[in-house]
């Protein structure tokens, strides 16, 4: 896939999500979408069995937007703060990094913006695990909304996820869009992963020039796509922080194995 094609796909993804923000109330995102709650399944399948796409494996980030901010976080600002959106931080002074939080750049809001590799596996039948070698961070996406949230806010927060299936169905374990059990109908050929993260500590979208508070809600849309026999997925992320809304997109390319996956410390390299 060419860089131009990836760039166009990311731009369309971001603008599509921004249009959704105007059309839907914030509460809709906080609830993980309409229909059955995450973890509910009309077919009785768990999230792993009902997955319309396979996101597991090793992936490497493809930097096709905000190159300066992502590759050189402490370079002079380009004016975007590393994120598109409404009411962003453009023109505002930078917030100094908090020396007591060296891993803040690797918090959920900006972790997938940091160039690096991911290892995605199923921790159990209803929990998807994303391990990041940059910063040695781990995120857990819970398809069962009854999983208890941590008592304290954390850098990675608490994430509830569900599958968006072709035909408009939603659900952690298959949703209403899949075929009925025993029908002999092939499963949906298209689907994406939606995730909503709350209970966050404040963090950076990428660098100290673009921050979000502990009141922020992170909504992400994972869409898998293939071109010329190569698998990719794009994450479109929306940070709603009070009256401020920002959106980013990040694309990853599938790798054959984990030979290049090398966890590193979370100190911000300057």
DSSP the chain: --HHHHHHHHHHHHHHHHHHHHHS-HHHHHTTSSSSPTT--SS---HHHH-SS---EEEEEE--SSHHHHH-TTSPP-SSTT-EEET--TTSPPPPP-TT-TTGGGSHHHHTTSSSEEEEEEEETTEEEEEETTTTEEEEEESSTTSPPPSS-BSS-EEEEEEEETTS-EETTSTTTSPPTTS-PPPPS-EEEEEEEESBPPEESSSTTSEE-TT-EEEEEEEEEEETTEEEEEEEEEEEETTEEEEEEEEEEEESSSTT------SPP-
Q: Does the residue 176 lie in any domain? A: no
Q: Does the residue 161 lie in any domain? A: yes
Q: Does the residue 74 lie in any domain? A: yes
What pLDDT does 260 receive?
A: 97
Query: What mean pLDDT value characterizes the chain?
Result: 75
What pLDDT does 108 receive?
A: 93
What pLDDT does 129 receive?
A: 98
pLDDT over 50 at 33, yes or no: no
pLDDT over 60 at 56, yes or no: yes
Based on the structure, what is the number of domains in the chain?
Answer: 1
Q: Does the residue 70 lie in any domain? A: yes
Percent of the chain with pLDDT over 70: 61
Q: Does the residue 44 lie in any domain? A: no
Q: Look up the pTM and report it.
A: 0.73
pLDDT over 70 at 43, yes or no: no
What pLDDT does 34 receive?
A: 38
Q: Does the residue 18 lie in any domain? A: yes
Residue 35: partners with Cβ closer than 8 Å, 6 or more residues away: 169, 170, 171, 175, 176
What pLDDT does 105 receive?
A: 80
What pLDDT does 240 receive?
A: 95
- Residue 201's domain spans which residues? 3-33+54-169+192-255
Q: Is 14 exposed, middle or buried (0-12, 13-18, 19+ CB in 10 A)?
A: buried
Query: Which tens digits make up the pLDDT trace of 123-180?
Result: 999 999 999 999 899 999 999 977 787 788 999 999 999 999 865 455 554 444 445 5
Q: Does the residue 178 lie in any domain? A: no
What pLDDT does 80 receive?
A: 44
What pLDDT does 220 receive?
A: 97
| Nearest-angstrom CA–CA distance, 236 and 221 | 5
Q: Is 87 exposed, middle or buried (0-12, 13-18, 19+ CB in 10 A)?
A: exposed
pLDDT over 60 at 1, yes or no: no
Q: Does the residue 231 lie in any domain? A: yes
């Amino acid at each position: 896939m060419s860089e131009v094609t990836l760039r166009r796909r990311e731009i369309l993804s971001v603008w599509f999500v921004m249009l959704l923000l105007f059309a839907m109330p914030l509460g809709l995102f906080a609830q993980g979408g309409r229909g059955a709650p995450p973890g509910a399944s009309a077919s009785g399948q768990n999230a792993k069995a009902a997955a319309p796409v396979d996101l597991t494996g090793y992936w490497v980030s493809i930097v096709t937007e905000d190159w300066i901010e992502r590759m050189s976080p402490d370079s002079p600002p380009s004016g975007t703060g590393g994120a598109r959106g409404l009411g962003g931080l453009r023109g505002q002074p930078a917030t100094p990094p908090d020396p007591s939080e060296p891993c803040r750049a690797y918090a959920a809001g900006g972790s997938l913006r940091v160039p690096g590799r991911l290892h995605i596996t199923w921790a159990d039948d209803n929990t998807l695990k994303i391990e990041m070698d940059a910063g040695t961070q781990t995120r857990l996406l819970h398809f069962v909304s009854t999983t208890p949230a941590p008592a304290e806010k954390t850098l990675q927060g608490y994430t509830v996820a569900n599958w968006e299936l072709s035909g408009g169905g939603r659900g952690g374990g298959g949703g209403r869009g899949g075929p009925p059990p025993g029908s002999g109908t092939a499963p949906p050929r298209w689907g994406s992963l939606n995730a909503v993260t709350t209970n966050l500590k404040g963090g950076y979208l990428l660098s100290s020039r673009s921050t979000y508070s502990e009141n922020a809600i992170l909504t992400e849309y994972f869409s898998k796509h293939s071109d010329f026999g190569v698998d990719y997925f794009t994450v479109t992320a929306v940070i709603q922080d009070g009256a401020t809304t920002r959106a980013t997109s990040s694309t990853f390319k599938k790798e054959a194995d984990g030979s290049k996956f090398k966890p590193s410390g979370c100190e911000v390299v300057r």
